Amino acid sequence: MKAQVARGMRDFLPADVRKRNYVVNIIREVYESYGYEPIETPAIENLETLLGKYGEEGNQLIFKILKRGEKLRQALGDAENENALADLALRYDLTVPLARVVANYKDKLPKFFKRYQIQPVWRADRPARGRFREFYQCDLDAIGSTSPIVEVEIFSVICDVLERLGFDDFTIRLNHRKLLKELLDACGIVESLQMEALTAIDKLDKIGIEGVKKEFQERGIQKEPSERILSFFDDLQGRENETILQEVEKFIGQKTQSIENLETLLRLAENPRLKLDVSLARGLTYYTGAIMELAVKDLSGSLGGGGRYDCLIGMFGKEQIPACGFSLGLERILVVMEERNLFPEKLQAPLVDVMVTVWDERSITESLKIADFLRREGFKVLVYPEVDKLNKQLKYASQIGVPYVCILGESEIAEGKVSLKNMVNGSQEKLDRNELKSKILR
């Protein structure tokens, strides 16, 4: 029997989990400090809940769950239709489940609902360096308000998280989905080709202006509007936010609501991390207002992204409810933190404060009692699990990195004492039980 993990999946050993939890706990603390509340949704959703939400490519990447029993036997009669074989699927992101929850539990939720959700999602993508088929998203969303306060708070949450994790060079790229449409209109790109244009523009970071120009051509967008929009993007590179807004207004020929919205967001936020980028497209189709993406210099691609989506929740219920959110990508944050050595050193050692040795069969109870005593004093205590030579027990403690060892040998047991060995400097002293706590704390 092979012991491999499935393709694109990962096992996390204790040192990995400690790092992951360190980051997740900071994200959770910051989210909660803004009044976001936790929800959780199941890994398995009805297939129809997910289909059609993530674009054609997204549909292909959904992990579908095979029907079982009689339903499967029936479906096998209709096996040419592969959707007939599955009726459930794995969560693909955290936004669609949120929209489903809000539509479903509307009466149980407050008028303004700020929720966060930190859970894994699954995509049947081709695994590659840094791309996994199971990965955590850390989402926060504010439901029920169209006020710019929502976006401004989200900028602030992102900055707090990144700063607490030790990042000092990030920017939040900001754009507006409607502004992008207005720019395409102004260039004369017809409505029916605008989705195509956005898909190409979304790749600007990766393939550059020449690459996008080529994609435009392949997607049937005419040469003149292509060149107009791309040279406009080029002109704006490196400009100040204020200048960009002025140029955009000139380009479109009027101050539209989307320009006003961006102006308001920049003014209220007073946040130097915000960087207008009118070429930012964001892949997903459901955005309706401001869109943003978190970028650091040494990572192509983003550490997270989000935006306003005022029309998604209505897909699941009778009522259209405005919403805006952001998703931090845990896996990418971890990769960059690893490269930059941003983890506290203490995460390298296990969570244990003290190991208690075991002398012989008869003294096992004594060892267990000392361990119990230390646990009640608040320490994390490991008991060596077997009767063994003392030097083997000490060697083990040193290997796994325990800072203190309580030795209960023949003489200690006879005298009713405990020897405490400091594994860092090698010193050892015989103590009364009651002296242990203060010595270990020191």
How many residues does this entry show for the chain? 442
Greatest C-alpha distance within the chain: 94
In contact, 278 and 183? CB cutoff 8 Å: yes
- Residue 192: how many CB atoms within 10 A of its CB? 8
Nearest to 127 by CA among 296, 10, 12, 205: 10
* Rounded CA separation 235/251 (Å): 12
* Cα atoms found within 13 Å of the Cα of residue 165, Cβ hemisphere only: 32
Q: How far is the CB of 322 from a second copy (least distance, A)?
A: 10
Q: Is 201 helix (H, G, I), strand (E, B) or coil?
A: helix
In contact, 300 and 267? CB cutoff 8 Å: no
The DSSP bridge pattern shows strands 290-295 and 171-176 to be antiparallel
403 to 371, 395, 397, 437, 439: CA distances (angstroms): 15, 12, 8, 14, 12
Sign of CA dihedral 19, 21, 27, 29: negative
76 to 70, 86, 320: CA distances (angstroms): 10, 11, 39
In contact, 293 and 205? CB cutoff 8 Å: no
The residue whose two tokens read 């790749």 is 203
* Rounded CA separation 310/323 (Å): 5
Q: Is 44 helix (H, G, I), strand (E, B) or coil?
A: strand
Nearer to a second copy among residue 85 and residue 299 (C-beta): 85
* Rounded CA separation 31/153 (Å): 10
Q: How far is the CB of 95 from a second copy (least distance, A)?
A: 14
Q: Is 144 helix (H, G, I), strand (E, B) or coil?
A: coil
| 404 bridge partner residues | 354, 422
Nearest to 294 by CA among 174, 204, 178: 174
In contact, 17 and 343? CB cutoff 8 Å: no
- Residue 294: how many CB atoms within 10 A of its CB? 27
